[in-house]
Amino acid sequence: MILLKPSVVSRCFFALFVAAISFLHQPEQAGAQGADTISLPLMFDPRERLQRPDMASVPRIRFVTTVDFPPFNFIDQSGKLSGFHVDLAREICRELNVLERCQIEAVPYKDLMAVLAKGDGDVIAAGLRVTPSLRQEASLSRPFMQLPARFVTTLGQAKLTDPASLQPGEAGVVAGTAHEAMLAAFLPNLKPRTYSKREDLLAALRKGEIKAAFGDGLQMAFWVESRDAAGCCRLLGGPYYSRLILGDGLTLVTRKDAPLIAQGMDAALLALSRSGRLNQIYLRYFPNGL
Which residue range(s) make up the domain with 43?
A: 3-145+249-285
In a domain, 90, yes or no: yes
Same structural domain, 63 and 178: no
Rounded to whole angstroms, what are the CA distances from 189 to 99, 150, 163?
52, 17, 12
Same domain, 124 and 265: yes
Residue 210 lies inside a defined structural domain of this protein: yes
Cα–Cα distance, 272 to 265 (Å, whole number): 10
Residues 123, 265 within the same domain = yes
**Do 111 and 45 share a structural domain?**
yes
Same structural domain for residues 105 and 188?
A: no
* pLDDT score at 70: 85
Q: What's the sign of the alpha-carbon dihedral 227, 228, 231, 236?
A: negative
In a domain, 290, yes or no: no
Output the pLDDT for position 17: 39
Q: Would residue 182 count as lying in a domain?
A: yes
**Residue 44 resides in a domain:** yes
Domain count, the chain: 2
117 and 164 fall within a common domain: no
Among 120, 121, 140, which residue's Cα sits nearest to residue 132?
140
CA dist 222 and 199 (Å) reads 14
- Tell me how far apart the alpha carbons of residues 12 and 128 are, in angstroms, rounded to a whole number: 22
Looking at residue 38, its pLDDT comes to 56
Please answer whether residues 64 and 116 qualify as being in contact, where contact means their C-beta atoms are separated by less than 8 angstroms.
yes
- Say yes or no: 60 and 141 in one domain: yes
What is the chain's mean pLDDT, rounded? 85
62 with 178, same domain: the answer is no
**pLDDT greater at residue 213 or residue 225:** 213
Q: Is the pLDDT of residue 134 over 80?
A: yes
The single-letter DSSP state of residue 222 is H
> CATH no. for residue 56?
3.40.190.10
Would 229 be classed as within a structural domain?
Answer: yes
Beta bridge partners of 195: 174
Q: Is the pLDDT of residue 2 over 70?
A: no
Do residue 241 and residue 198 come from a single domain? yes
> Does residue 22 belong to any structural domain of this protein?
yes
Quote the percentage of the chain above a pLDDT of 70.
83
Does residue 114 sit in the same domain as residue 208? no
Residues 169 and 85 in one domain: no
φ, ψ (nearest 5 deg) of residue 32: -110, 20
Residue 46: band (very low, low, confident or very high) from pLDDT cuts 50, 70, 90: low
Please state, in angstroms and rounded to a whole number, the distance separating the CA atoms of residues 192 and 214. 9
Residue 204 predicted with pLDDT over 60: yes
Indicate if 110 and 53 belong to the same structural domain: yes
Average pLDDT over residues 234-258: 92
Tell me how far apart the alpha carbons of residues 98 and 5 are, in angstroms, rounded to a whole number.
Answer: 17
Residues 182-188, mean pLDDT to the nearest whole number: 94
DSSP structural state of residue 10: -
pLDDT of residue 222: 81
Q: Give the pLDDT of residue 40.
A: 61
pLDDT at site 188: 95
Residue 170 pLDDT > 80: yes
**How confident is residue 289, by pLDDT bands cut at 50, 70 and 90?**
low
Q: Which pLDDT does position 39 carry in this prediction?
A: 56
- 95 and 268 in contact (C-beta within 8 Å)? yes
Q: Contact 234/161 with Cβ under 8 angstroms? A: no
